[in-house]
Structure 1
């Protein structure tokens, strides 16, 4: 078990759960401890691109690399070191709180590191389509030191009822956590002007009656 202390307080979940209940999305700074964020920043900074892969669009048989739509590199996260174990355990605790207090029936959580090099972006998209995915809640944790106004790479969230209406543009600053309903909110990543790191993840439900997660999801 990791010795990294994950949270900044004994009850870190209240704001995120209240936001999701009231509006379906949440932007929270300093959700995790500085210790854990620093460990994750060090982890992804040490990853060479040769150990990551070019991200694609679509899922399962429809998955393809489309550089005109997104240009980040990713590496899926397994609990192979203390930082990754601490993060996955913390998100597991958050999953249990969502189920206990919002009755979401979340089954598991998956996540990957994401690297946007200078010039990289991800066009507007949804993380899930209604009735066609088991993703319920999307999360993004930002791992960037001293991100400034002119550095680009903003996370833009759009209204679920009007995909042309922006709910906000958020800098990918160190320790900021975004959580939102996967099927409801279009979003994009604007072009980064320096290397940008994050962890993208999804809380999922189990749509398989055999107690196994949907294949290819």
Structure 2
């Protein structure tokens, strides 16, 4: 099946025009798939429309700091706060309004296409808004450890307008086989989407020098068994 046909079959029919994300167009989506096949990571600018990105930014800006959680490290029983490792605040995204629902619906469409094209067996997607205040960072880490997590693909969508190099907050992606080798440094430019294999690429967030907003997400497989439930978040 052609990529354009696959996309047209996956995108919602009733999506309002002003919320239509950029991956409904052929080129950025094709480049993402090509990158993932070739090297396991991809950076795509303007992946979502400016209008839709603005709506997401307004959504996270409206969240009062006291309603966000101090992010921790580790998952399930090993989860704990560690301000020496990361200092961002998060709020998990639920389909509570049109903007959040549209974002989750479109990432669901992306999940279906990724499965059809790359045979990844992705089961679902979870995401949270992230806020890095001035001075916040996230040290080098992996989003998943081989054989120990259900996270397969990590995604980060950046929301800030007019981000400058002097504002810091860059995403740094390191080599899969030598974590001292940088593959690239990427400013959190509005509309930029980063996608990478969760258990392969160490990455970090440099110290932000102004408030930085993004959406971090993960495409997951289902590790539920007869003996153990595989919860999200």
Give the TM-score range, shorter chain.
over 0.9
Q: TM-score, normalised by structure 2?
A: 0.89
Residue 183 of structure 2 is aligned to residue 154 of structure 1: no
- The 1:128/1:198 distance shift into structure 2, 3 A limit, reads same
Residue 26 of structure 2 is aligned to residue 5 of structure 1: no
Q: Deviations over 1:61-104 (max 9, x none)?
A: 11111001000000000011111111111111110111000000
Higher helix share goes to which structure?
A: 2
Residue 49 of structure 2 is aligned to residue 40 of structure 1: no
Q: CA RMSD in A?
A: 1.5
Question: Does the Cα contact within 8 Å between 1:158 and 1:166 map onto a contact in 2?
Answer: yes
- In 2: Cα distance, 1:82 partner to 1:2 partner: 10
Alignment partner, residue 5 of structure 2? none
Residue 89 of structure 2 is aligned to residue 89 of structure 1: no
Q: Name the SS for the 1:157 alignment partner.
A: strand
Q: Name the SS for the 2:179 alignment partner.
A: strand
Q: Name the SS for the 1:40 alignment partner.
A: helix
Question: Any stretches of 5+ residues in structure 1 without a counterpart?
Answer: none
Q: Name the SS for the 1:97 alignment partner.
A: helix
Q: Name the SS for the 1:15 alignment partner.
A: helix
Residue 87 of structure 2 is aligned to residue 66 of structure 1: no
Alignment partner, residue 129 of structure 1? 145
- In 1: Cα distance, 2:58 partner to 2:207 partner: 23
The aligned length equals 216
Residue 205 of structure 2 is aligned to residue 200 of structure 1: no
Question: Does the Cα contact within 8 Å between 1:60 and 1:216 map onto a contact in 2?
Answer: no
Q: CA deviation at 1:35?
A: 1.4
- In 2: Cα distance, 1:124 partner to 1:143 partner: 22
Higher strand share goes to which structure?
A: 1
Q: CA deviation at 1:9?
A: 4.3
- In 2: Cα distance, 1:44 partner to 1:2 partner: 21
